[in-house]
Amino acid sequence: MPIPEQRDLEAARGILGRWLATQLPVVGPVEVGPISGPAFTGFSNETLLFDASWTGEQGPVTESLVLRVKPTQHTVFLEQDFEAQYLVLRTLGERSAVPVPRVRWYEADESHLGAPFFVMDRVDGRAPEDSPPYTQQGWLLEASTPAQRRTLVESGVQALAAVHAVDWQGLGLDVLSKPQYGRIGFEQQLRYYERSYEWAEREAGFPAPPVAQATLAWVQAHAPADDPEVTLCWGDARINNQLFGPDYRVRAVVDWEMVTLADPMMDLGWWLFLDRHFHEGMPAPRMEGFPTREEMVSGYETASGRTARDLEFYEVFAGLRFAVVMLRIATLVTAFGLMPAEGAVEMAGNNAVTRVLADLLDLPAPGPVPGQFG
């Protein structure tokens, strides 16, 4: 579900043109073309796509750029960590094998666009859609062969493994630690999402749905005693956040709002849960050519050199994290006037996330598939 425009895009063109002229070795003004957003942008960030043209020392130049603006209101996450996202992208682009867009500039001065922002190169690639779900319509379903879909998912899993191979300590990414929530690893993750759960309930003005309540209790009861390993974790690990080329291989890993330091199985569990979400949770038939759960796990093990473990726990924990996000989104659609307030309770309680969680934990189904928000 796309969000309404949050700013005057024509005014933003002029602002960005003047700002870019201070960042580039230009002769004369910088012309910013029409600004758009991704075809299916979400609630967690504001993303602006545009072409910029100028005359440099070697002559005329046109580049395609992407601008990300720090959320300042209607936020999905308890903490934004916006500058950390920029740091991760810049560091990975300069010092790792993880394919990410090249980051160009970071601007902390809020006077330009009302919030900090950063600019990166636009990668020529396409991602499977969130809305409408790629399992129900779109290019991956309608214009791809089973073999191409298999290549896409396998390449995505390999890119996920590359994230976990990063020497996060050597690259100075220990700044992602949140010691205020406890020991680095799962303790920090659990305390952070407990706090997020409480915040999302308070902001919503109604309790989290019964499935989410049961899931939180299950996670607290089954939490691992220690972390066998801590790596850089992408956070929102799924094919929707990867850009693929014509060969159906990953060109860029994007959307790092949930980046953190944790057990790599947390990312793999999220990957598997999101696969269930887009197939079983919608519901939609499993796309022909998609690897099975077992094949994806095996592919990850081969690419990473790790043995997968604790995946039942980390899939359920993924569902808890996503249920908190859905509670926030239900609150935000009301704030944006996209649905009446009474509909937020139904949306938060009966969606693809809660349906998959109910199935995983053998809980009563939250209800029939809603026509609009399934």
pLDDT one-digit tens code per residue, 178-237: 999 999 999 999 999 999 999 999 999 999 999 999 999 999 999 998 899 999 999 999
Over residues 49-59, the pLDDT tens digits come to 999 999 988 89
Judgement on whether residues 260 and 319 belong to the same structural domain of the protein:
yes
The average confidence (pLDDT) of the chain is 93
Selection from 326, 319, 317 nearest residue 344 by Cα? 326
88, 121, 154: which is the final residue of a domain? 121
Shared domain check, 68 and 207:
no
Query: In this structure, are 168 and 286 located in the same domain?
Result: yes
- Closest by CA to 222, choosing from 197, 193, 186, is 186
Question: Does residue 102 share a domain with residue 50?
Answer: yes
Nearest to 127 by CA among 40, 62, 11, 13: 40
φ/ψ of 52, rounded to 5, equals -120, 135
Burial of 324 (0-12, 13-18, 19+ CB in 10 A): buried
Within-domain flag for 370? no
- Which residues in 271-325 belong to E strands, given as ranges? none
pLDDT band of 6, cuts 50, 70, 90: low
Q: Which of 94, 121, 148 is the last residue of a domain?
A: 121
Alpha-carbon distance of 273 to 286, in angstroms, equals: 14
**How many independent structural domains does the chain possess?**
2
- State mean pLDDT over 272-282: 97
For residue 371, is it within any domain?
A: no
Range of the domain at 188: 139-360
Is 333 in the same domain as 284? yes
